[in-house]
Amino acid sequence: MNTGVNAEAAAALRADPLFSRALELADAATTRLAPQGLKWMWGEALYTYALHLLDEALGEDRYLAYIRAWLDHHIDKGYRVDQSDTMAPGLTAFAAWQRTGEQRYRDVVDRVVDYLLHAERVLDYMPNHLGSSPEGRLYPKSVWVDSVMMYGVFAGWYGRAAGNADIYDFARRQPALFARYLQDPQDKLFYHCYWTKAGHTYPKNKVYWGRGNGWVIAGLPLTIDHFERGSQEREQAIAILRETSAALLPYQRDDGYFETVFNKPGKTYPESSATALIAGGWMHGIAGGYLDDAYLAPALRAYRAVLDSLELRDGLLSMPNISAPTIAVQLVPYLGYKFTPRGSDWTYGLAAMFFAALNYRKLALAGKLP
């Protein structure tokens, strides 16, 4: 795999501890987490997709066998595509198909595309987040901010790369719809979900979940990259990224972290996946020209905060302070966020760290770092 990156600059970057430490974490994670033991879910999808992006950046097949082992395991035993969270593996499958040409990976992509085209729309052009899954019967029909990342990024990438007008049309509508229904009109921060039958956001009382807003900051640049320059949907998505970024900035702690609920400072806890997503999204935004350089120092402070928190566990580098999978619980949602436990090496937290490292790399290679 050849990325065309200047070999001397790339070699120097490998020696930069702000990149090499994240790469060490990726090597540790692929040693610690057996691919056959990973679920077919959104966190694992983002983790393996981020490993693919590391390969792409490095110009290597460093993680390809690992990625294929995960996909092959689930293809052989059977997998489902029935909600945003189980269609997210389409990101990794599309990458694997492009790299190998193997039909079995294309078959996964085709199932994901079919799901996106035919899933029931519950709010304008938006599918129910939990789709037709068994767990979807236990939760109100709703759209979730998570889907900015879970289906938005795939739809933008695949729609443009494959020339699929229907999927591209789906993708280009999404940022404005997420903002219309999930973004607070005054505070410009995003709520976790919107209950379609009730007709309101949930939570309703200005509780802003950290990782959910992280999905917006990290997911929008990944989608904007695939929108045509000068298009209305591109300009809308950039405007949403800018106003949400400006709204987030005052909530960054002195230590660089963001808390798991932004607007309850000191009442929840600093959370590494949200912090890494915001750091990476801001660096991506600067590299892509979607954000100005005012976000560079806060982004680097957030990135360094998470890197500095990495620790050795069983002789391998480990990422702590990642909140467990989180839903907007149906009674007293704030307490659901507050008491969601933290753990180490959740796959989506690792993915967030790798996204951040990749965007740090972009800035370094472009000579945009201080």
Query: What's the CATH number for 7-365?
Result: 1.50.10.10
Asked whether residue 4 carries a pLDDT value surpassing 80, the answer given is no
Domain boundaries of the chain, sorted by first residue: 7-365
Output the average pLDDT for the chain.
95
Q: Are 29 and 348 in contact (CB under 8 A)?
A: no
Phi/psi at 368 (5° precision): -100, 5
CA distances, 15 to each of 24, 55, 120, 152, 308 (Å):
12, 17, 49, 34, 17
Using one digit for the tens of pLDDT, what is the confidence trace for 279-335?
999 999 999 999 999 999 999 999 999 999 999 999 999 999 999 999 888 778 888
Residue 339 has what DSSP assignment? T
DSSP sequence for 226-274: TSPTT-HHHHHHHHHHHHHHHHHGGG--TTS--BSBTTSTTTS-B-HHH
The candidate with the shortest Cα–Cα distance to 221, out of 51, 369, 41, 359, is 359
Compute the average pLDDT of residues 34-44. 98
Q: Does residue 10 have a pLDDT over 70?
A: no
Mean pLDDT throughout 93-109? 98
Q: Measured between alpha carbons, how far is 318 from 323 in angstroms, rounded to an integer? A: 14
Q: SS3 of 343, please? A: strand
pLDDT in tens, 215-233: 999 999 999 999 999 999 9
Q: Which residues contact 345 (CB under 8 A, 6 or more apart)?
A: 29, 32, 33, 313, 318, 319, 322
C-alpha to C-alpha distance for 260 and 243, rounded to whole angstroms: 20
**pLDDT of res. 203:** 92
